[in-house]
Amino acid sequence: MKISSLASSALLLLSHAGVNAFTPTGFKNRISTGLNVATSPPPPSSSVSEKSSSNEWSPDSWKSKIAKQMPVYDDEKELDAAVERLERCSPLVFAGEVRSLHEQLARACHGQGFLLMGGDCAEAFNEFNVDHVRDTFRVILQMALVLTFGSAMPVIKVGRMAGQFAKPRSEPDEVRDGVALPSYRGDIINNEEFTSEARRNNPFNMVEAYHQSAQTLNILRAFATGGYADISRLQAWNLDFVEQTEEGSRYRKFAAKVDESLRFMKAIGVDTAADTFTKTDFFTAHECLLLPYEQALTRKDSTTGKYYDCSAHMLWVGERTRELDGAHLEFTRGIGNPLGVKVSDKCTPDELIRIIETMNPNNTPGKLTIIVRMGAEKLRKNLPGLIRAVQREGKSVVWISDPVHGNTRKTSNGFKTRDFDNIRDELRAFFDVHDEMGSHPGGVHLEMTGEDVTECVGGISEVTEETLADRYNTYCDPRLNGAQALEIAFLIAERMRVRTGLPELD
């Protein structure tokens, strides 16, 4: 939340949280930035063969590299027409907003912030509505309030929203009853129904995805600045959540401390109706996967001369597309957006250093976030070596945990799910390793929704394998529901309190 130094001090004055959620085995004023609009599509560039002979970058230089996880379109003219239409569209985000996010991530890189990323596995055209966007936005803000109190530092809020449509696939085709059709790759590429017409890779789906993203961003901006993010409203929602917990639970005690702090601020004359307490920064991010879409929305900023991918404030490259000589790293290395890269136990220390040097050659703080997805046991074994290499080479990165992707399994009745306890264990391992290495655990990345779905088992909502079918609505991977996501936030906040040295609750 946008909380001033005075408000932060007051909020922390009464806090004494801690306990054993993840027991180990002052705000800076925001730098103001103008909302400079990057409006001009990139000019036509030289041929791929000319570019590939040098190390120069252009928005289409990725075409000289191998592009994995890309759909094959059967009509090149139709693809060109869709890309040309996108190039004439307005940017979805603005260069000044992107720079603001970069500034906040730079502070997190130095241990002065915490990055919260959350949202759907994949957005869908027929699931889009205002309530769905609002509910996820609300839970992320509730989580941010808890994390702000627990970490005693600003929380950077980034939604996997307004662009998270494409999804990588293990196989190019799906076979049912002897019939092979192209795999469903997300609504931005094709449709889920198992028919030849639906599974055709349609380039004009990119245009529909653009327009839905524009609507989503309009909704998010309205909620972020129109009073919906009021800190008192968020705390009231959090108190509703803790009513589901047992009397005397650590969640109730923690929420009570936040409530006491807000009451104290009002008592000493802090105006909690001011913009600082009723408005918030909120950014968007998605996986950089469908490169024709990303290139079409890349613009050159008139004030800095830098290129920005104006489809989102931040983009990340996935585990399956982060090859050093691949098209996705080639594209991302030239844009001004903050970037992320997902790494599993397959990534070696030397490989990670080369990835960092490719994506952030100037070693700019806040430019690159390392999103770790391994599972608890593999994380404890492999993450120390990665951190050690980054420390040895003096690289500036933000380390965040993706504790969901490494913990996916299939139940005996055929549902993909994730166990809440395994997600918690991976987060505990993430914090333990950073404590041991003297590095900053800079954030968390979750597949989640604000809706009361039954897709992940365990947690306060008590979802079981037997109840998965009740509200299993995902188009992709299983998501934490609102209560499970908020419970994760409370657990992280308690662990962060331990890191600050504050005493435990009575």
Q: Which two tokens stand for residue 282?
A: 């909120």
Give the pLDDT confidence score for residue 102 in this predicted structure: 98
* Residue 265, pLDDT score: 87
- In whole angstroms, give the CA distance from residue 444 to residue 115: 6
From the centroid of its chain, how far is CA 324?
Answer: 23
What are 270-310's pLDDT values in tens digits? 887 888 888 999 999 999 999 999 999 999 999 999 999 99
- Taking alpha carbons only, the member of 154, 104, 130, 302 closest to residue 223 is 130
User: How far apart, in whole angstroms, are the C-alpha atoms of residue 142 and residue 489?
Assistant: 9
**Residue ranges in 342-472 assigned as alpha helix (H):** 349-359, 376-393, 420-437
pLDDT score, position 463: 93
Whether residue 15 has pLDDT greater than 70 = no
pLDDT at position 51 is: 39
* Nearest to 374, CA basis, from 366, 362, 386: 386
Burial tier of 442 (Cβ tally within 10 Å: 0-12, 13-18, 19+) = buried
CA–CA gap between residue 319 and residue 288 (Å, rounded): 11
Question: Structure pTM?
Answer: 0.88
| Confidence class for position 215, pLDDT limits 50, 70, 90 | very high
- pLDDT at residue number 44: 52
Beta bridge partners of 158: 117, 283
Out of 5-19, 257-271, 370-384, 472-486, the most confident range is 370-384
Question: Residues 327-341: what's their mean pLDDT?
Answer: 98
State what percent of residues in the chain have pLDDT above 90. Answer: 71
Percentage of the chain lying above the pLDDT 70 cut = 88
The whole-angstrom separation of Cα 69 and Cα 299 is 24
In this predicted structure, the answer to whether residue 124 has a pLDDT above a threshold of 50 is yes
Most confidently modeled range among 91-100, 247-256, 462-471, 493-502: 91-100
Q: Which residues pair with 66 in a beta bridge?
A: 326
Q: What is the pLDDT of residue 25?
A: 38
Q: Flag whether pLDDT at 101 surpasses 50.
A: yes
Read off the DSSP letter of residue 44. P
The mean per-residue pLDDT over the stretch 223-229 comes to: 89
Which pLDDT band holds residue 318 (cuts at 50, 70, 90)? very high
54 or 361, which is more confident? 361
Ranked by mean pLDDT, the top range of 81-95, 121-135, 167-181 is 81-95
